[in-house]
């Protein structure tokens, strides 16, 4: 049991929240918070690799985030594009394998091209698996999976459903970390998080440091996971 408790989470989900509040506290526009948040992603990726995590899923833009002001959405698109253009070579060099989760058809075409290239270029990389959730919602993901499965015209089992999700082939989430104090999942990877440990930290995403991230992993390691069974 000690082994299990101290184990490194294989798959971590990040609900990167609090960019806007962080910026507001500094009297800056929300887009400034998103920019700082984007910088922190690099640190999260590096630290995840150092911790020995296998896969990281980042919630970058939800299916509900379309409700935000046009200018904020525009600023986010620019940042996503900038991220893929400026980081791709480094991520590739670091053996990171990128997977996009979400319907890219709703974004400007250029975004689709960049994300396709990111996935294609890094497809054979064997290091950290980095999933980026863009225009992602768990319910939309399940609907997409069901529509793909329905064509088979026969009943399906749990494994087939899980395999029709964006995370096909990856382990379930062991840990979901949400920054900025909110304690909810906001439509993030609901099926993959069925038995995930949830860790909420008050620091906003732009303020997340390697130390705080390590604290979240330590918190996870203190938990006893039972998966419905009993422990002695």
Residue nearest to ligand IPE (CB): 20
CA distances from 122 to 40, 60, 92, 103, 205 (A): 21, 19, 6, 20, 26
Q: Which two three-digit tokens encode residue 124?
A: 């054979």
Q: Which residues pair with 175 in a beta bridge?
A: 12, 197
Task: Quote the DSSP letter at residue 179.
Answer: -
| Contact window for ligand IPE (CB under 6 A) among 13-21, 145-153, 207-215, 222-230 | 13-21
- Strand order through the sheet with 97-101: 97-101, 129-136, 55-62, 11-15, 175-178, 197-200
16 binds, among ligand IPE, Mg ion, none (CB under 5 to 8 A by kind): ligand IPE
CA dist 202 and 104 (Å) reads 31
| Contact window for Mg ion (CB under 5 A) among 13-21, 57-65, 138-146, 208-216 | 13-21
Whether 27 is catalytic: no
| 17 contributes a contact to Mg ion by CB under 5 A | yes
Q: Which of 17, 19, 131, 135 is catalytic?
A: 17
Per CB under 6 A, which of residues 46..65 are in contact with ligand IPE?
59-62, 65
Whether 50 is catalytic: no
Query: Among 180, 193, 198, 208, which residue interacts with ligand IPE (rule: CB under 6 A)?
Result: 180
Are the C-beta atoms of residues 80 and 134 closer than 8 Å to each other? yes
172 binds, among Mg ion, ligand IPE, none (CB under 5 to 8 A by kind): none
Active site (catalytic) residues: 17, 65
Residues in contact with Mg ion by the rule CB under 5 A: 17
């Amino acid at each position: 049991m000690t082994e299990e408790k101290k184990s490194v989470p294989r798959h971590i989900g990040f609900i990167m929240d609090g960019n806007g509040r962080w910026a507001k506290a500094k009297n800056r526009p929300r887009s400034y918070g998103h920019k700082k948040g984007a910088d922190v992603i690099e640190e999260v990726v590096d630290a995840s690799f150092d911790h020995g995590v296998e896969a990281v899923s980042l919630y970058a833009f939800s299916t509900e985030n379309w409700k935000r002001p046009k200018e904020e959405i525009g600023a986010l698109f620019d940042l996503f594009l900038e991220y893929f253009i400026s980081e791709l070579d480094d991520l590739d060099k670091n053996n990171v394998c990128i997977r996009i989760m979400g319907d890219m058809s709703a974004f400007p075409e250029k975004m689709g091209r960049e994300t396709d290239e990111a996935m294609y270029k890094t497809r054979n990389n064997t290091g950290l698996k980095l999933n980026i959730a863009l225009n992602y919602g768990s319910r939309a993901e399940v609907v997409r999976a069901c529509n793909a499965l329905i064509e088979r015209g026969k009943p399906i089992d749990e494994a087939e459903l899980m395999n029709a999700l964006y995370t096909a082939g990856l382990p379930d989430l062991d840990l979901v970390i949400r920054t900025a104090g909110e304690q909810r999942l906001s439509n993030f990877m609901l099926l993959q998080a069925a038995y995930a440990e949830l860790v909420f930290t008050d620091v906003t995403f732009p303020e997340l440091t390697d130390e705080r991230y390590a604290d979240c992993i330590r918190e996870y390691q203190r938990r006893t996971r039972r998966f419905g069974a009993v422990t002695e």
